[in-house]
Every structure is written in C-alpha cells, then in structure tokens.
Amino acid sequence: MATEDWGSQLLEEPMFILENGEVYRNPTEVKMSQIVMPCHANHCGELSVGQLLKWMDSTACLSAERHAGCSCVTASVDDIHFEHTISVGQVVHIKAKVNRAFTSSMEVGIVVSCEDLFSDQQCKVCHACATFVARRTEAGKVQLKQVIPHTQAEQMEYSLAAERRRMRLIHAEIITDLLSSSSSQTTSECEEYQDAVPAERTRVESVELVLPPHANHQVSTFGGQIMAWMENVATIAASRLCNAHPTLRTIDMFHFRGPSHIGDRLVLKAIVNNTFKKSMEVGVCAEAYQGGEPLRHINSAFMTFEVLDHDKKPRTLPHIRPEPVDGKRRLKEAIARKKIRLDRKYIISCKQTEVPLAVPWEPSNQMYLSYNNVSALKLLSAHGNWVLTSEKNKVSLYTLEENQKLCFKVEMHVNVPAEQVFVLLSDLRRRKEWDGHYEECEVIIQADEDDTIYQVVTPSVRKGGKDQEFIMLASRRRPCDPSEPYLIALRSVTLPTHPPTEDLNRGEVLCAGFSILEESDNLTKITYYNQATPGILQYISTDIAGLSSRFYSSFSSCSEFLERNRDSLASHSPSRKPGRMESPVHQ
C-alpha cells in the first residue's frame, strides 16, 4: 500500500430492515476477499493490476449471472482510476452488484477496498462500472428481469445507471469528433526534442495461446485474462521509455468488440503514444486469430502510467519522438484524450464544493457536463429529509438545509400529459410566459437534441440595481421506463464568447431543474428543485420565510400556462442565431 494516508474507515451502507424483520441484502451482491500472495505481486511487492482486473471481472460476472440466471459475458468496463497500490500480505475486498438491467445487458457496480490486517484499517482502491450481456439460451435471446432498488443508495445507482449508459452509447462518437478536430489545436505540442526517446523503442508485441485455464465456464477467453495480458504489455512499453518500473494510474474504457476462444492466438501490441510532464499514455490492443484466418480486433485501451521516486512522488519523464508513419497522429490523439480525462476528473470526480459553480463549456467536456448536470439533479431529488415549509393553492414548498446550503423544491399537479409538460418546460424561452423572473431568454448554443445553452436575464430585486444574467446549460432526459420521471436539469456554465459585462450582474446556478412524473394519462406531478446560491437566494428568501407568495403566483401561472397549451404542437428545437458559436460535435 502506498505510504500516503489510508483515508478514513470505509463506511458500510446503513442496514435496511424488511417488513418481516430480516436485514435486507441485495440479491445480486457478490463479495470476494483475497489475501495478496507473492505470486500475485509485481517486482515492487505490490498487487499486479492485471491480477486485480481478473478478480474484479470474475466477481462482477458472478453478480451478473446471479441476476440473469444464465451465462454472461463482459461487454465493457468503464474508466478506472487507481487511488492506492496494494502490498503483499494485505487483503483485497471486492464487492459487485447489479445496478440496473436493460433488455439483455446490465450494469454491474464494482467497489475495491484494501485491508491491512495488522492495523485493522481499510481504504478504497478503486471503483468501476462494468457492462455484461446475457448470452442467448436454447430458448433464444434473454429478456432480463428488472432490478428493484430497496435502499436510497440502490435507487440512486439505478437512476444514474441510465445516464451512464447514455454516456457509453455516445462516447465513441464524441471521442471520434474530438480527435478529428485535435490536429489544428495541438500543433505547438508536437515539437521535436533533442533528448526525446524514439517511440519505436517502446513498442511491444506479444502472442498468447488461449488454453483451457484462460477460459471461463462458457469456453470463451476470460475477459479479465485479456485485460491482464493487455496491462502486462502496456507496463513493458511504459518501462522501456525511462528504464524504470511504472505505476498504472488510470485505464480508459475497455470495450470488447468480439469474443475469443480456446485455441485462439491473441496478439497483444503496445506503444507509448505520448509523454506529459509526469505521466505517459500507452496505447494497447488485442487481436485474435486461428490458423490462417485474418486478425480479429478484440479490445483496445489507453493506460496512463507514472514513475515514482523514493518519496513516492511522480518523476519528470523524457519526451517522446513519434514514429514516422502514425506517430504524430498517436501523439496528437493522446493530447486530446488527456484533455478529456482532465475534463472528466474536473467535472465528475471532484466534489461540487471544490469546483467553481460555473464550469467552462466546450465540445470536449459536453458529455461530462451533461452527465454531471443530470446526476446532480437526481442526487438532489433523492434526498428524503425535505421539510414542508408552506402550502397554498395546491402548491407545496419544501426546504432542505445540508452542507451549509439551502435547497428548496416546489411541487404541484397539473391535468396535462407528462410528455406535453416536458416539451413545454424544456424550451426555456417560453418560461417568461409564466415566470416573472425571466425577463429575457435566448439560445446561445444548441449542442444537440438534449443539451442547450441559454442566456437568461432576470430583473434586479433591489430598486435601481443591475439586472442579473445567467449562462445556463439545460439538459433534458426522457425516462427509460414508466416509473421514472422526465428531467430538465439546469446549471451555470461559462463561455469565452459571453464574458461578464458591466451592464449585468453575472449570477450562477449550481443545480436546478424539473422532475416531471406521469401519475396517470392526464395527471402529472411537477417538482421544481433549486440548490440556492446567493444569486438565487435573494429572489426566494421572502417566500421561504413566509413573507411573500410570489412563488405560489409563479407556479400557479405555470399551471395555467400548461393547461392553456396542453394541445399545442410545441417542439423543443431552438434555432441557432446567425453569428453565434456552434458546437462542432454534431455538425
């Protein structure tokens, strides 16, 4: 284990007691505990990441098969960040459970922790989400049963699984578009350095014969084994760069493009694509063949390594000299991927209290900002300790004080189909028809069908004060199944084309939006959430204190607006204005 602090003791989820008095345990949960032996370790006496990947994949597969009731195969493993290394003699605990099932695929959440038996301390090593697909049976394609969440934590993972699945489905498209536009942005970073190490020196190619011990119970090559072989050749490539032993920090998504079987020859190739100041990216791929048949692409991944000094601090790495043919392309693509990784870490991994409210928006982080926007609204709506502050004209106002922040929600019902409510409220330009706080609203960027950036101007609360301006990302989502609501999530972003001006005060929205749940064909529950920031609080403080009824008036007007337009053919397709910046992602 690394010598940095272990962190606090890992907290177990609170017990959930069933009606019969028994303690609830998720029926798909599988736990594996392994003591790290010398045969599992690398040269440093630390657990090999390849071995850990095999254990993680095995545990997750057992969880998936417990839910599916049939054989399952690994389809993909999301990005993994390793927070700690694990030493010989320590115990690895792996817990996996199905977060959500779709038609024939399911997401399995994996949490890895480490225990020191001598100090009785534990720390988190990593977490991951893997996608497994149920294999066809003799009866045909499997239709998976739905996961029924019981605890608040399970409900949250169930809800976020749909958003993560959406990210996976568009991930390849976003990456391709970004990499294709990276050449014009990264020319200055492709300089030649005298002390550069030729990339060709780091190239590694290895062939493995798939034998019965490498196969799973379905006679296919074990997904964890393939990932372990890939990690092995990537580590060799990284070692050749600086003649030192590297430490693996992150793995970009593993995506299995086809199966491999006993008797296959697996060709594994790795090369250092680029080096940054204290890290390097290694590209690795796995291809399979039998006899004289052509190579089949099985998997590709990008792994980020560091080289640590005696104080466990990352060393400065030498520059890389790209190979003649594809080297510059690899180098530029690695720069683009690094930016994507930093965006992802900045937006998703950090706690909300540790980042500015308004994050810069650009095509490279659109996917992660959208995910963060919707996830934040889902997390806010999942809280169960809301307090009813007041109720008037069938409009209820709730408050929640948490982490020194004041959150509020407003609930009401309307006799309008949920789909129509969603369409009408999705276009923020129409909000000024019922909300007096919206003085002006225009579309700045129509990123795609579900993500739009608006400029909103609201009147000053104080007499003679400046109007307030918001640059807001609106992300909308339709439900994956009837039990879920439609969502319209709002958060502030910044744009270089729209800096703050002296004429307007720039306000910020951390988390806000609508949850629209269909309770019957014509009855819809609308819930509006807002994590109040200072710029918002001034508008609602008198309502929460019971000194004003503007909120009730606004939402009564909203109800009338929806009733008035229940049969309109509104559509959420804001047109772009000439001269405005457009997203290159979907052009």
pLDDT tens digits for range 311-333: 889 999 999 998 887 888 888 88
Token match 């204290």: residue? 278
**Is 544's pLDDT higher than 60?**
no
**Is 10's pLDDT higher than 60?**
no
CA distance 457 to 505: 9
Provide the token pair at 47: 């657990």
CA distance 268 to 286: 5
> Please, what is the average pLDDT of the chain?
83
Please, which residues have CB within 8 angstroms of residue 337's CB and are 6 or more apart in sequence? 175, 179, 252, 281, 302
**Is 284's pLDDT higher than 50?**
yes
Neighbours of 7 (CB within 10 A): 13
H/E stretch holding 177 reads: helix 152-180
Token match 């998976």: residue? 144
Q: Is the CB of residue 135 less than 8 Å from the CB of residue 74?
A: no
Provide the pairing of β-strand 197-198 with 320-321.
parallel
pLDDT tens digits for range 573-586: 444 333 333 333 33
Q: Is the CB of residue 107 less than 8 Å from the CB of residue 161?
A: yes
For the chain, helix, strand, coil in percent to 5 are 30, 35, 40
CA distance 25 to 15: 9
3-class SS string, 91-159? EEEEEEEEEEECCCEEEEEEEEEEEECCCCEEEEEEEEEEEEEECCECCECCCCCCCCCCCHHHHHHHH
pLDDT number for residue 74: 93
Which pTM does this prediction carry?
0.80
pLDDT number for residue 280: 95
Percent of the chain residues past pLDDT 70, beyond the cut: 83
Q: pLDDT-based confidence at 191, cuts 50/70/90? A: low
Please, which residues have CB within 8 angstroms of residue 226's CB and are 6 or more apart in sequence? 256, 260, 266, 286, 298, 299
Q: Is the CB of residue 71 less than 8 Å from the CB of residue 80?
A: no
Please, which residues have CB within 8 angstroms of residue 513's CB and are 6 or more apart in sequence? 377, 487, 488, 489, 490, 528, 529
Task: Tell me phi and psi for residue 552, to 5 degrees.
Answer: -65, -35
Closest CA to 172 of 253, 288, 261: 253
Please, which residues have CB within 8 angstroms of residue 412's CB and are 6 or more apart in sequence? 394, 395, 396, 525, 526, 555, 558, 559
Q: What is the DSSP string of 254-308?
A: EE--S--BTTPEEEEEEEEEEE-SS-EEEEEEEEEE-TTPPPEEEEEEEEEEE-B
CA distance 74 to 224: 9
Neighbours of 548 (CB within 10 A): 13
Q: How far is CA 477 from CA 117, 363, 418, 486, 488, in A?
A: 46, 19, 13, 6, 7
Q: Is the CB of residue 24 less than 8 Å from the CB of residue 15?
A: yes
Closest CA to 34 of 6, 4, 59, 3: 59
All domains of the chain in start order, with CATH: 1-180 (3.10.129.10), 360-564 (3.30.530.20)
In degrees, to the nearest 5, what angle opens at C-alpha 107 toward C-alphas 104 and 111? Answer: 155
Q: pLDDT-based confidence at 506, cuts 50/70/90? A: confident
CA distance 198 to 38: 34
Q: Where are the beta strands (DSSP E) in 307-439?
A: 320-321, 359-360, 387-392, 395-402, 405-414
pLDDT number for residue 357: 59
**Is 3's pLDDT higher than 60?**
no
CA distance 200 to 241: 10
Please, which residues have CB within 8 angstroms of residue 193's CB and are 6 or more apart in sequence? 319, 321
Q: pLDDT-based confidence at 346, cuts 50/70/90? A: low
pLDDT number for residue 275: 93
Q: Is the CB of residue 242 less than 8 Å from the CB of residue 209?
A: no
pLDDT tens digits for range 12-21: 555 666 666 6
Please, which residues have CB within 8 angstroms of residue 218's CB and are 6 or more apart in sequence? 71, 73, 135
CA distance 257 to 101: 21
CA distance 54 to 223: 8
Question: Sign of dihedral through CA atoms 19, 25, 26, 27?
Answer: negative
